[in-house]
């Protein structure tokens, strides 16, 4: 069953807003004038809907990552004789295996 914590969603949404502020600061401090004029972070820095959109994007991204369970990516090194392979399993509903060879 798919479960997501409301507290985690709110925290991730707030972290996304903070990342937006950091990007905005970097662009306004170090960006050239035409970049400042055309950048979405600078154009919408005083609009509440922009930060609400960032918040919702953070929540949806957290829910997607929790749903596909990508944070449980596991890799195992398998050696036979002199040949070693790394097999990584991304448990997207336990159907995806990825073979990484060296």
In the DSSP assignment, the letter for residue 93 is T
Taking only the tens place, the pLDDT of each residue in 17-57 is: 999 889 888 888 887 777 777 777 777 777 888 889 999 99
Q: CA angle, 56 as apex, 48 and 51 as ends, to 5°?
A: 20
Beta strand 96-101 with 83-90: parallel, antiparallel or unpaired?
A: antiparallel
Q: What share of the chain is helix, strand, coil (3-state, %, to 5)?
A: 60, 20, 20
User: What is the tally of helices (H) and strands (E) in the chain?
Assistant: 4, 3
- Does pTM top 0.75 for this prediction? no
In the DSSP assignment, the letter for residue 72 is G
């Amino acid at each position: 069953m798919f479960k997501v914590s409301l507290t985690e969603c709110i925290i991730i949404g707030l972290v996304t807003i903070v990342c937006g502020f950091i990007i905005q600061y970097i662009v306004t401090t170090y960006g050239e004038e035409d970049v400042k004029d055309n950048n979405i972070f600078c154009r919408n820095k005083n609009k509440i809907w922009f930060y609400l959109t960032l918040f919702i994007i953070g929540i949806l991204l957290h829910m997607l990552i929790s749903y596909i369970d990508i944070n449980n990516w596991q890799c195992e090194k398998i050696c036979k004789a002199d040949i070693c392979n790394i097999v990584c399993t991304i448990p997207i509903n336990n159907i995806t295996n990825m073979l990484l060879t060296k």
